Amino acid sequence: MRYLIRFSYDGTSYNGFQKQKRDKNTIQGKIEEALKYINNGKDTKLTASGRTDKGVHALDQCAHTDIDVNITPYKLKRALNSLLEADIHIFSVEEVDNEFHARYMVKKKTYMYRINMGEYNPIERNISYQLCRELDVDKMNKAIKDFIGKHDFSAFCSNEDKKEDCIKEIYDAYIKKDNNTLYIYFTGNGFLKYMVRTMVGYLIEIGLNKRDNDIKERFKETKRSKIRTANPEGLYLYKVEY
């Protein structure tokens, strides 16, 4: 039986989502350990909507898995949560067709980035980027609209992400301010490695009056630009839509 699992996690203590060869602590590794126990000791693969990097969090990550034992979605949810650490939580499990694929069938993804512009907050140091400086939000709001649309994001992704083309489409991008906290949202059909954090880094430089908005010119470049990459702790996989 194939199941769609939705879950959230605090990525602070993990070396990213994706399971790695050298037994590093990962989200996928921890969940697959729990699935193996539930599935009578059989190695059980978890296929996610995408990976998140070290220190990055998720409010709505999605993945599918195939389990041989007869178990209801409710009992699978409870069993997983009983086996996982407190910084990972399964909040939804449902049966899906065997043709369902958590990665290839994604229609939209939304990422959120959280910035503290106020006094340094040690309590939130792992869940919010502690910039602790005032930003020109009006300038950032004007600039972020230039990311919307279908563009070549080669200048805004990691040099490690050498795809044949880096064309992605951003459906929506906006900023919300709540007192001294800034929330930056991007919704698109897919994102490259470090793409969101690089776009945020670019917006931060605009907000600090360290650069003018030349996003449209950057889209003409075929290699990564000299743009800061924002810290991982402020980034959240916010929502996945099928």
Question: What pLDDT digit, counting tens, does each position of 108-165 carry?
Answer: 999 999 999 999 999 999 999 999 999 999 999 999 999 999 999 999 988 766 566 7
CATH code that applies to domain 2-96: 3.30.70.580
In this predicted model, what pLDDT tens digit does every residue of 174-231 receive, in sequence order? 999 999 999 999 999 999 999 999 999 999 999 999 999 999 999 988 778 788 899 9
* Exposure of 223 in the CB half-sphere (CA atoms within 13 A): 1
Report whether pLDDT(90) > 80. Answer: yes
Is residue 35's pLDDT more than 70? yes
pLDDT of amino acid 161: 60
What residues does each domain of the chain span?
2-96, 108-241
What whole-number percentage of the chain has pLDDT above 90?
A: 89
Q: State yes or no: pLDDT of 13 exceeds 70.
A: yes
> Fold identical between 2-96 and 108-241?
yes
SS3 210: coil
Decide if 177 contacts 137 (C-beta within 8 A). yes
Summarize the confidence of residues 63-81 as an average pLDDT. Answer: 97
Among 84, 91, 111, 10, residue whose Cα is nearest residue 54? 10
Tokens of 90: 């399964």
Name the least confident of 33-37, 91-95, 121-125, 190-194.
190-194
Which residues form the catalytic set? Answer: 53
Question: In the 8-state DSSP scheme, what is residue 13?
Answer: G
Residue 88 and residue 29: Cα distance in Å, rounded?
12
User: Is the CATH number 3.40.225.10 carried by domain 108-241?
Assistant: no
Helix, strand, or coil (residue 153): coil
Residue ranges with strand state E in the chain: 2-9, 46-48, 57-66, 88-96, 108-116, 129-130, 149-152, 167-178, 181-188, 235-241
What mean pLDDT is reported for the chain? 95
Spatial neighbors of 41 by CB under 8 A, at least 6 apart, are none
Location of structure tokens 């999605």: 62
| Predicted structure pTM score | 0.94
Looking up tokens 């600090």 gives 208
Q: What is the pLDDT of residue 164?
A: 63
